[in-house]
């Protein structure tokens, strides 16, 4: 779920021609999502939106230029027949670090919102999370993951061929996403939150830890499985999938990297 924070910056910037529209859309999206899970009061929604606007303002000015720079640094790799795995590994680690850093910008706002929650809102949150877990079957989870992976690739290189779709399907069959452990992790983190909510100081620490170093509160088995899956997917992209990318797809990738880097830079400079 938390990857939506970073992805929404990139995806919304590519969809909006005006930086101000994108910034407002991010605020609205985040508040709406929080409202779905917590049934916020009008005062809480107002406070959350105001605080998020401040957080976003700092984050976009400090972090988005760095993300744009990293995007541009990938461009020299595009025309190569074979990717440099070390360069790609470094870039992937950079983007993961950007996410961790971005998440930390919202820590204080998350603490403030968490402390304002009434018991009925916490109950509603727990109910929503557990319903999410129960409602998703194994087949639904697999379908959702496959769809997400295909969309992620298409987001950068445009439409993909049937053969490329089959390659992604084959990869996921051989390297299943740890969906079961992901659900166990949701319950694990939820239980920590519910326990922490009993004491304000404990809650502050838990929420800060969650936003500053999310792996510290995760189910260890899920962290290990997820990291292994990420490494496998990165290897798949470099060693198997890249050779299937056409000249037109490479051109689309280059154009998207350039335009999205420019979008991020424009958003960072927006006043």
Range of the domain at 44: 3-269
Query: What radius of gyration do the chain's Cα atoms show?
Result: 20
- Answer for the pair 105, 60: CB distance below 8 angstroms, yes or no: no
What count of Cα atoms within 13 Å lies in the side-chain half-sphere of residue 152? Answer: 13
Phi, psi of 213 (to 5 degrees): -155, 80
- Separation between Cα atoms, residue 230 and residue 227, nearest integer Å: 5
DSSP string for 117-151: --HHHHHHHHHHHHHHHHH--HHHHHHHHHHHHHH
State the pLDDT at residue 25: 60
State the pLDDT at residue 74: 86
Q: 257: which 2 tokens?
A: 């990297």
Q: 124: which 2 tokens?
A: 């509603």
Backbone torsion region of residue 158, taken as left when φ is above 0, otherwise alpha when ψ lies between -120 and 50, otherwise beta: left
- Separation between Cα atoms, residue 36 and residue 17, nearest integer Å: 28
Cα dihedral 195, 201, 204, 210, rounded to 10, equals -50
CA 123 to chain centre: 26
- Answer for the pair 30, 12: CB distance below 8 angstroms, yes or no: no
- Answer for the pair 137, 45: CB distance below 8 angstroms, yes or no: no
State the pLDDT at residue 24: 57
Q: Within the chain, where are the H helices?
A: 3-15, 19-38, 42-74, 85-104, 107-116, 119-135, 138-157, 162-174, 179-196, 200-212, 220-236, 247-269
Q: What is the pLDDT along the chain (271 residues), one digit of tens a residue?
A: 343 344 444 444 444 444 454 555 666 777 888 888 899 999 999 999 999 889 988 988 999 999 999 989 888 888 777 777 787 778 888 888 888 888 899 999 999 999 999 999 999 999 999 999 998 888 888 999 999 999 989 999 999 999 999 999 999 999 999 999 999 999 999 999 999 999 999 999 999 999 999 899 999 999 999 999 999 998 999 899 999 999 999 999 999 999 989 988 988 887 6
Q: Structural domain tally of the chain?
A: 1
State the pLDDT at residue 205: 96
Angle at 269 between CA 267 and CA 271, to 5 degrees: 95
Q: Kindly state the greatest CA–CA separation across the chain.
A: 58
State the pLDDT at residue 119: 95
pTM of the model: 0.85
């Amino acid at each position: 779920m938390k990857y939506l924070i970073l992805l929404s910056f990139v995806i919304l910037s590519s969809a909006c021609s005006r930086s101000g529209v994108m910034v407002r859309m991010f605020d609205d999206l985040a508040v709406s999502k929080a409202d779905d899970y917590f049934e916020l009061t009008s005062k809480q929604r107002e406070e959350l939106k105001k605080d998020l606007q401040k957080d976003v303002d700092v984050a976009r000015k400090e972090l988005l230029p760095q993300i744009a720079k990293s995007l541009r640094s990938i461009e020299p790799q595009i025309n190569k027949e074979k990717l440099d795995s070390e360069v790609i590994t470094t870039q992937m680690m950079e983007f993961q670090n950007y996410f961790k850093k971005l998440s930390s910008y919202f820590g204080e706002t998350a603490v403030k919102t968490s402390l304002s929650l009434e018991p009925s809102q916490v109950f509603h949150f727990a109910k929503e999370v557990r319903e999410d877990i129960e409602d998703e079957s194994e087949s639904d989870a697999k379908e959702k993951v496959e769809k997400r992976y295909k969309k992620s690739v298409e987001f950068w290189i445009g439409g993909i061929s049937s053969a490329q779709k089959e390659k992604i399907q084959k990869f996921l069959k051989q390297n299943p996403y740890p969906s079961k452990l992901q659900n166990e992790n949701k319950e694990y983190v939820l239980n920590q939150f519910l326990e922490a909510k009993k004491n304000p100081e404990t809650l502050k620490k838990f929420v800060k830890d969650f936003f500053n170093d999310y792996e510290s509160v995760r189910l260890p088995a899920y962290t290990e499985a997820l990291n292994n899956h990420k490494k496998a997917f990165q290897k798949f992209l470099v060693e198997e999938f890249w050779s299937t990318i056409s000249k037109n797809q490479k051109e689309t990738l280059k154009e998207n990297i350039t335009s999205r880097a420019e979008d991020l830079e424009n958003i960072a400079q927006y006043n």
